[in-house]
Chains A and B, each alone.
Chain A
Amino acid sequence: MQLAIRHRTRYRYDPAVAAVGVRLKLYPPTFAAQHPVAWTVAVNGVAVAPGFRDGWGDQVATHFVRGEVAAVEIEAAGVVDTRDEAGVVRGLREAVRPGMCLRATPRTEADSAIAALAREALEDGGTQLQQAHRLQDLVTARIAYRAGHTDGATTAPVALASGAGVCQDHAHVVIAAARSLGWPARYVAGYCLHAEDGGDDVATHAWAELWLDGIGWVGFDASNDLCPTDAYVRLCAGLDAFDAAPIRGHVEGAGAEALDVRVAIHPAGAEQ
Chain B
Amino acid sequence: MFDEMNGDDGARPPYCGVAHWLDTLGLATLDGKRREAETLFRRSGITFAVYGEGGDPERLIPFDLIPRVFGRDEWQRLAAGIVQRARALNAFLWDVYHRGEILRAGVVPEALVYRNRAFLPEMVGFDPPGRIYAHIVGIDLVRTGPGEFRVLEDNCRTPSGVSYMLENREIMMRMFPELFAGNRVEPVDGYADQLRATLEDMAPRHGPRAPVCVVLTPGPFNAAYYEHSYLADQMGAELVEARDLFVDDGALWMKTTRGPTRVDVVYRRIDDEFLDPLVFRPDSYLGVAGLMDVYRAGRVTLVSAPGAGVADDKAVYCYVPEMIRFYLGEAPVLENVPTWQCALPEHRDHVLTHLDELVVKEVHGSGGYGMLIGPRASAAERAEFARKIAHDPAAFIAQPTLSLSTVPTLTPRGIASRHVDFRPFCLVGRQIRLTPGGLTRVALREGSLVVNSSQGGGVKDTWVLSE
Q: Which residues of A contact B (CB under 8 A)?
A: 21-23, 51-56, 60-62, 64, 66, 94-97, 99-100, 102-103, 238-239, 243, 248-250, 252
Contact = CB atoms under 8 A, between A and B. Distances in A.
B125 A250 contact: no
B248 A100 contact: no
A102 B114 CA distance: 8
Contact of B115 (A54, A103, A238): A103
B121 interface: yes
A56 B122 CA distance: 9
A22 B278 CA distance: 7
A50 to B, nearest CB: 9
B247 A62 contact: yes
Nearest to B103: A99
Interface residues of B, number: 28
A53 B98 CA distance: 14
A19 to B, nearest CB: 8
A51 B289 contact: no
B131 to A, nearest CB: 15
B115 A62 contact: no
Contacts of A21: 247, 278, 289-290
B100 interface: yes
B13 interface: no
Interface string B258-285: 0000000000000000000111001000
B293 A60 contact: yes
Interface in B384-427: none
A151 B296 CA distance: 31
Contact of A64 (B247, B277, B297): B247
Contacts of B250: 51, 62
B259 to A, nearest CB: 15
Nearest to A53: B125
A54 B290 CA distance: 14
Interface of B: 98, 100, 103, 110-111, 114-115, 119, 121-126, 247-248, 250, 277-279, 282, 289-290, 293-294, 296-298
Contact of B278 (A53, A55, A62, A102): A62
Contacts of A243: 121
B293 A52 contact: yes
B277 A250 contact: yes
Contacts of B248: 64, 66
25 contacts: A21-B247, A22-B278, A23-B293, A51-B250, A51-B293, A51-B297, A52-B298, A53-B125, A55-B122, A55-B125, A55-B126, A61-B293, A62-B293, A62-B294, A64-B247, A94-B125, A95-B124, A96-B121, A97-B114, A99-B111, A100-B124, A239-B121, A248-B278, A248-B282, A249-B278
A52 B124 CA distance: 12
Given A64-B247, A100-B121, A250-B277, A23 B290 contact: yes
Contacts of A249: 278
Given A250-B277, A250-B289, A54 B114 contact: no
Contacts of B114: 97, 99-100, 102-103
B115 to A, nearest CB: 4
A54 B297 contact: no
B179 to A, nearest CB: 54
Contacts of B298: 52
A250 B246 CA distance: 12
B277 to A, nearest CB: 5
B111 A102 contact: yes
A95 B98 contact: yes
A236 B110 CA distance: 25
Contact of B124 (A55, A103, A252): A55
A52 B290 contact: no
Nearest to B113: A99
A174 to B, nearest CB: 19
Given A51-B294, A51-B297, A99-B111, 9 more contacts: A52-B297, A60-B296, A61-B293, A62-B290, A94-B125, A99-B103, A100-B124, A243-B121, A250-B290
A99 B297 CA distance: 25
A250 B282 contact: yes
Contacts of A60: 293, 296
Contacts of A102: 111, 114-115
Nearest to B124: A55
Contacts of A52: 293, 296-298
B96 to A, nearest CB: 9
A97 B101 CA distance: 12
Contacts of B290: 21, 23, 62, 64, 250
**Best-buried of B123, B247, B289, B297 by chain A (most CB within 10 Å):** B289
**Best-buried of A56, A100, A249, A252 by chain B (most CB within 10 Å):** A100
Contacts of A23: 278-279, 290, 293
A60 B296 CA distance: 10
Contacts of A100: 114, 119, 121, 124
Contact of A250 (B115, B119, B122, B278): B278
Shortest beta-carbon contacts, A-B, top 4: A55-B124, A95-B125, A250-B289, A51-B297
